[in-house]
Each structure stands twice: as C-alpha cells, then as structure tokens.
A and B are shown apart, each in its own frame.
Chain A
Amino acid sequence: MAERRRAAAARVKEPAAPPEAQTTRAFPADEPPEQLLGYYADMVLIRKFELSADQMYKRAKIGGYCHLNLGEEAIVVGLMAALLPTDYLFTNYRDHGYALMRGLEPGRVMAELFGKSTGVSKGRGGSMHMFDVGVRLLGGYGIVGGQLPPATGAALALTYRGAPGPDAEVVMCQLGDGTTNIGAFHESLNLAAVWHLPIVYVVVNNRLGMGTTVEAAAGEPELYKRGSSYRIPGERVDGTDVLAVRNGARRALDRARLKREPALLEVMCYRLRGHSVVDPARYRSSADVETAQAADPVPLLRQSLIAAGLLDEAEAQRFEADADARVAAAVAFADASPDPSPSQLFDYAYATPVPNAPHALPGEPVVVLP
C-alpha cells in the first residue's frame, strides 16, 4: 500500500511529457490531399480569427472575458471534422473556433464578440456563449462544468427519438482539464454510464486550469482514466495532430453512435497564451512557453504539408491571405452591424408570454397607479 502511494506521488510530481519534438509529420497515404489542405485552411482561419479577437479586445471593441483557442486549432478542426451535422455540440467558454468550424460565418461570430444584434446569440451572450440551433451548437457555457449536465440530458433526449446505428445522432461535450475536478463532471459521467447515453466527453487538456497545473489539481492526472470509475473507456490523443484528434474522436463517436455508450477522449495540447486575453501568464516558466511554442500545431501542419509536397510556400501564403481577408471582412461586418436597441431589453425574457412579466427599467415605477 505504502509502495503504491509512493508510486502515485512520484507520478504526480512527474511533469507531463511533451509530445516528441517534431518539425514535420508524415501523412497516411489514404488521406486525401484536398482534405489535409482543408484542415490547414481551417486551422489558419481559427488562428487568424483569434489573433484578431485579441487585437479587437485590446482596442476595446470586445468586452468582458475573452478566451482564445490559440494552440488548440488542431483539436477544434479535428473534433469538428469527426462530428456530423446531425450531432449536437456543447462546449465551454473557449468556443470561438468551434462556432467557426460548425459552419457559422466569421462575421456573425465576431459580431457576437462585439455585442452586436447580428451576432450568433444576438449580442446577448458574448465570447463565452456562442450558440446556433441551426448547426446544433447548443452553447458555449461560461460556468466551468455547467455544460456537462445539459449535454448529458441532450444525449438522454436522443434515446427517445432514434435507435443506435451509423446514422444515429449523438452529443459531443467539450470541456477543459480543470473541469474534471468538479462534481458536475462526475455526476454527468455517472448518469451517462447508468443510462447508456450516446455522448462523447472531450477533455481538452492544455495542462493548465488558469494557472494551476493538472498535476496539482487532479488526483488522477491522466485524465482519460477518470472515466474508469464509471466504466467509461478513455483514450488520450495528441492534440497537436489534427488527424490523431479526428480519428480518436471518430472512434469515440462511433461507440456512442453504434453502441449507444458514452466515451471519454482526452486531447493533449499547450495553451499558447494566457488563460484569457488579459492574462500575461507570468506563472509559466520560459521552458514551458518554449515547449508550447515548439508544439504549435499551425506551423507544424504547414511544414508537414510542404515536406510532403502537398503545399508550397506561395500556396501557403495564399491560404493565410485568404484567412486574413475573411477575418478582416468579419471585423468589418461586426463593426458595421447595429447595436441591440435598449427597446429590445426584455425580448426573450420568457418563451411563453406571461401576465405581469417585469418590464421596468431602473427607476421606472413597477405599479401603475389608478
């Protein structure tokens, strides 16, 4: 027993191993080149969009909190490549890239950041609350762990309206590494297990919950193992490799689709910036930052595509210029969009109209005198 405790302590102290230092990666022969190039274009779009969001925040065009997907581009693109249009997606607050990859116009996503009425949530949600029922993106959620019970319930609803099979609808629920410590994570996994729900929980492990390391926060820092208490199989994949992410997600989604059973996927990556745009991340060592930069998935895929002869420098620059142009157009659209009118403040207060619903602005009377 003591020996086991010592072993556990040793494991906790051990720093998480970085992915092997690579400058390029080879691609399987059966991977269509167009698809690989498409993944690169998508990752570049997310990268450029997030860099622009960072700028726009610093110019005070964006308010509140703003968490970026920088360093997580291969994860977002890989997961969304595996998810079908008929599937449902719940995410945490680091959600801009997911909204883009679910097919929402960058302009509408940027407009949401700008708090404009043309935003995906009509300017009512902001950075943390991207939502579009049409593409089955059922939210960006700002409360850590808050999305897990509703995502689990969405999977429950699916069991009432379809049978398992290759065309079955399923739910993907994205979360961060720190979220695996909250009660809602464990309650949700337990419900998914006992109710046999078609859901895939994806832990994006960027090794830091704000400034707290996974090892300092999690009794079992190999997070993909945390489903084992609920007999939910887990798998860890390299989140800097878009194909590894996509393939891991497909395996997990297949289990949900074909067997109607939950799965847990852990994708390893590095946060390239602070927790949010206002966090200078002074708690990180320079070695850690260097490791993160060396694992940057965007240049890694670029170099790999060039090394494989699928892309040349000029083409790569065209992709990047296209992304720049789309992001510039998104900013222009958001800038030109109207602010929501104060007269619309009480719109969407209730879905079913109700007598005596509050409608007073600050300082207005609440009772009409006879």
Chain B
Amino acid sequence: MTAVPTAGVPTEGGLQASKGDAIPLITYRQALNDALRAELTRDKNVILVGEEIGIFEGSYKITAGLLTEFGPERVRDTPIAEEGFVGAAIGAAMLGMRPVVEIMTLNFSLIAMDQIVNHAAKIYSMFGGQTPVPMVIRMPGGGGQQLAATHSQNLEVWFAHVPGLKVVAPATPADAKALLLAAIRDDDPVIFLENLSLYNTKGEVPDGDDVAQIGKAAVAREGTDLTVIAYSRATTVALQVARQLAEVGISIEVVDLRSLRPLDRETVCASVRKTSLAVVLEDDWLSYGIGAEISATLMEGAFDYLDAPVRRVAAAEVPLPYAETLELAALPDANDLIKVIREVLAATGFPR
C-alpha cells in the first residue's frame, strides 16, 4: 500500500482526460466494479447482496463479471424484498460478514427504511457497543434520466440526518473506488450514494489500495473569489463552472463534501473564511436540504467573514416530471450555478 496523502481526493485531473501518463483512465462504473472485485478477493467475509446483481450483472452493470468470478454465494441474487434483504445483511454483519448491499435505485430504499434507520443505525449504540454492523448499502439516485417522480429522487438528507450511519457521496471515479474500499473496511453501516449520471464519467483512478478517509471533505479546486460547496454529481458541475469562470477572471474554490455524515464543517468554514462568499450546489430539494445545513454551519463558523448571504442552488420542489422540458427546468445545472455566482459577486461589487 502506498501512502498518498491525496488518495481518493477528487482533483480536476480526476475529471479530465489524462494526457498519456501512467494513471489509468476509467469510468465511475468501472471504479466501483474494481473496488468490489478487490474486496471480494481480499476478504472472504465480503459478500454482495441485491436484486439482479448476479445473473443480470446489476441493473446498471456495476457487478458485471463478479458472479462468474466469485460464485452465487459471494454474489447473492435476492428476491424483490428490500426490507428483507437489507435486514438480512444487518444480521449477517452482526455475525461477522461484511455485506455490500446494492439497492437497485435509492428510491427503493424507502421500503427498507425501518431496517436502515431503526436497526442498522441503532444496533451498535443501543446495545452498548457489543456488536458492530459492518455493512455497505450502495444505491444510485438522481434525476435527468426521464424516469419521472418516483425514480429520480435525491434523498441523501434522509440518511445524513441519522446518527449511527455514515453517508458518503463520491463525485469522481477515484473517490468512488477509494471511498468504497473505505466503506467496506469500516465497521459501521455506510450509505454509499451513487448518481446515475456519474456512471459513465471517466477519471484517473490509481491502481491499488488507495483507501479514502470517511468524514473528510476535499478542496477539489483552489480559488480565491468564492467557494462553491457541492457533492456527488454537483461537484462535477461545480468544477466545470469553475473552469469556465476562470477564463473570465473569476477564481472559484470548490469544496467537495464527499462525506455527508459525518460532515466536515471545518473544511467548509476554512474555505469560506478565505473567499468570504459561498454558494451551495445540491441535487436534493431546497428546503431542509444539505445546503440548509451548510448555510447554518457557515453562519456559525464564518459569519464575520461573509461578504454576502450564502445562496443555495437546489432542485425545484416538485415531484420530478417526466417531460424533458419540465425535468430540465427543475434540476439545478451549470447555468443556474453561474447565475447565482454572478448575483453573489455583484452584491459585493465584484471585481473589488
């Protein structure tokens, strides 16, 4: 294992085509597949559990090839029974297995909420630390696929609200791998949030055992004029906007939260104390969302440094419609972010 201080930290290099150097360029999907294969190989207690992950190779092909390689006991297809198989993974974890559960999409996790919130999150603490629950629940969320209201949600706040869970939301292929390795080796239940629109994105992913640290945000791009705080898909949008605005002389710092619980408030506040301006880009609905928590954090940790109110760019608060025009209108995108950044800068008389 090589100790690389930036292991798993998203950088712009991780989001762009590499220019012929040695670090492989792979998709987010492949990074997840590589991490699962590595852990199945490394630890015989790791098992994969979920609907259609074996013979069908996963609804989004994250588990492609793994059934053939590891067999039906290690890569276990389940009936359609989210409450049942998520809970079964909890019990298996209590006896020392390390299940990695795939819920086909985040939307179906609602059926398993009793097991996730009332059981996975409680068992270690409520029974006085006697039995950890080392498990991972992977699931993709996100809109933009014309899947309509019930199949397009971003419910990260539901999980991030709950003590006892760890919640990560990687933005890049490198982070997807490094955080999945960390999640599988962690002794607590980890909610691992993927986003449908990220699966085909490519980035540099170091070979080998780069294990990220859960609970730490990263400065994905340094800047001086304004901080954009984001996670998952929103981080990729924020970095794209930062590059675009750099061309017109605006220096954006991008903080990628990576971990939604625990939340690295110090990194967020340190960045905003430097830039004095903050915009949150988030894919969840606005009210009570991640941005609300970040804003409250900045009120407490950077109030005297702020030159303008913190603004949030979040999804419109409607059940997401199917029609493309309506879907596009509802979801936050680069143009929305640029508009808000410009408004915030204008409020301070930028350029100063």
**A interface list, Cβ under 8 A from B:** 88, 90, 119-125, 129, 131-133, 138-139, 141, 143, 146, 148-160, 183-184, 187-188, 190-191, 194, 347-352, 354-358, 365-370
Pairs of residues from A and B, 7 with the lowest C-beta to C-beta distance, nearest first = A149-B87, A153-B91, A187-B84, A367-B301, A153-B88, A122-B128, A150-B91
8 pairs, CB–CB < 8 Å, chain A vs chain B:
A119-B128, A139-B127, A150-B94, A158-B95, A184-B114, A351-B129, A352-B188, A368-B266
Listed residue (A153, A348, A356) with the most chain B CB atoms within 10 angstroms of its CB: A153
Return chain A residues, CB-CB under 8 Å to B300: 365-367
Q: Beyond A139-B127, A347-B129, is A352–B92 a contact (Cβ under 8 Å)?
A: no
Return chain A residues, CB-CB under 8 Å to B297: 366-367
0/1 interface trace, chain B 259-300, chain A, CB 8 Å (1 if under)? 100111110010001000000000000000000000001001
Residue of A nearest to B261 (CB): A358
Contact A352 B186 (CB under 8 A): yes
Residue of B nearest to A150 (CB): B91
Residue of A nearest to B111 (CB): A183
19 extra interface residue pairs, beta carbon distance < 8 Å, beyond A187-B85, A356-B216: A124-B128, A125-B128, A131-B127, A149-B83, A149-B85, A149-B88, A149-B119, A151-B91, A152-B91, A153-B90, A153-B92, A153-B99, A156-B88, A159-B73, A190-B81, A191-B78, A354-B188, A354-B214, A355-B215
Contact A187 B95 (CB under 8 A): no
Contact A125 B126 (CB under 8 A): yes
Q: Tell yes or no: B86 within 8 A of A by CB.
A: yes
Q: Beyond A154-B91, A355-B215, A366-B265, is A149–B131 a contact (Cβ under 8 Å)?
A: no
Majority secondary structure of chain A interface residues (helix, strand, loop or mixed): loop
Give CA–CA (A235, B149) in the complex, Å: 46
Contact A150 B126 (CB under 8 A): no
Residue of A nearest to B129 (CB): A348
Q: Tell yes or no: B134 within 8 A of A by CB.
A: yes
Q: Tell yes or no: B192 within 8 A of A by CB.
A: no
CB distance from A119 to the nearest CB of B (A): 8
Residue of A nearest to B97 (CB): A157
Give CA–CA (A340, B259) in the complex, Å: 31
CB distance from B75 to the nearest CB of A (A): 13
Q: Which of A133, A358, A366 contacts B131, CB < 8 Å?
A: A133
Q: Beyond A158-B95, A354-B166, A358-B262, is A150–B129 a contact (Cβ under 8 Å)?
A: no
Interface of chain B residues 99 through 157 with chain A (CB within 8 A): 99, 114-115, 118-119, 123-134
Contact A131 B84 (CB under 8 A): no
Q: Which of B89, B118, B264 contacts A143, CB < 8 Å?
A: B118
Contact B125 A349 (CB under 8 A): yes
Contact B90 A149 (CB under 8 A): yes
Q: Which of B84, B124, B264 contacts A184, CB < 8 Å?
A: B84
Return chain B residues, CB-CB under 8 Å to A188: 84, 87-88
Q: Beyond A125-B127, A191-B78, A349-B163, is A157–B91 a contact (Cβ under 8 Å)?
A: yes
Contact A355 B213 (CB under 8 A): yes
Contact A351 B87 (CB under 8 A): no
Contact A154 B94 (CB under 8 A): yes
Give CA–CA (A194, B81) in the complex, Å: 12
CB distance from B73 to the nearest CB of A (A): 7
Q: Beyond A356-B263, A366-B297, A367-B266, is A152–B84 a contact (Cβ under 8 Å)?
A: yes
0/1 interface trace, chain B 52-90, chain A, CB 8 Å (1 if under)? 000000000000000000000100001101011111111
Return chain B residues, CB-CB under 8 Å to A370: 273
Contact B88 A191 (CB under 8 A): yes
Q: Which of B45, B47, B78, B188 contacts A351, CB < 8 Å?
A: B188
Contact B130 A131 (CB under 8 A): yes
Give CA–CA (A144, B216) in the complex, Å: 37
CB distance from A180 to the nearest CB of B (A): 15
Return chain A residues, CB-CB under 8 Å to B259: 356
Return chain A residues, CB-CB under 8 Å to B97: 156-157, 160
Give CA–CA (A246, B258) in the complex, Å: 53
Contact B127 A124 (CB under 8 A): yes
Contact B215 A357 (CB under 8 A): yes
Q: Beyond A157-B92, A351-B187, A365-B300, is A146–B118 a contact (Cβ under 8 Å)?
A: yes
Return chain A residues, CB-CB under 8 Å to B215: 354-357
CB distance from A337 to the nearest CB of B (A): 14
Give CA–CA (A356, B263) in the complex, Å: 6
CB distance from A345 to the nearest CB of B (A): 10
Give CA–CA (A349, B94) in the complex, Å: 16
Give CA–CA (A152, B115) in the complex, Å: 13
Contact B114 A153 (CB under 8 A): no
Give CA–CA (A352, B97) in the complex, Å: 16
Give CA–CA (A146, B97) in the complex, Å: 20
CB distance from A65 to the nearest CB of B (A): 14
Q: Tell yes or no: B96 within 8 A of A by CB.
A: yes
Contact B83 A184 (CB under 8 A): yes
Give CA–CA (A351, B262) in the complex, Å: 14
Return chain B residues, CB-CB under 8 Å to A351: 124, 129, 132-134, 187-188
CB distance from B246 to the nearest CB of A (A): 28
Residue of B nearest to A145 (CB): B114
Q: Which of B78, B81, B88, B163 contacts A150, CB < 8 Å?
A: B88
Q: Beyond A153-B92, A157-B95, is A121–B128 a contact (Cβ under 8 Å)?
A: yes
Contact B90 A150 (CB under 8 A): yes
Return chain B residues, CB-CB under 8 Å to A122: 128-129
Return chain B residues, CB-CB under 8 Å to A348: 124-125, 128-129
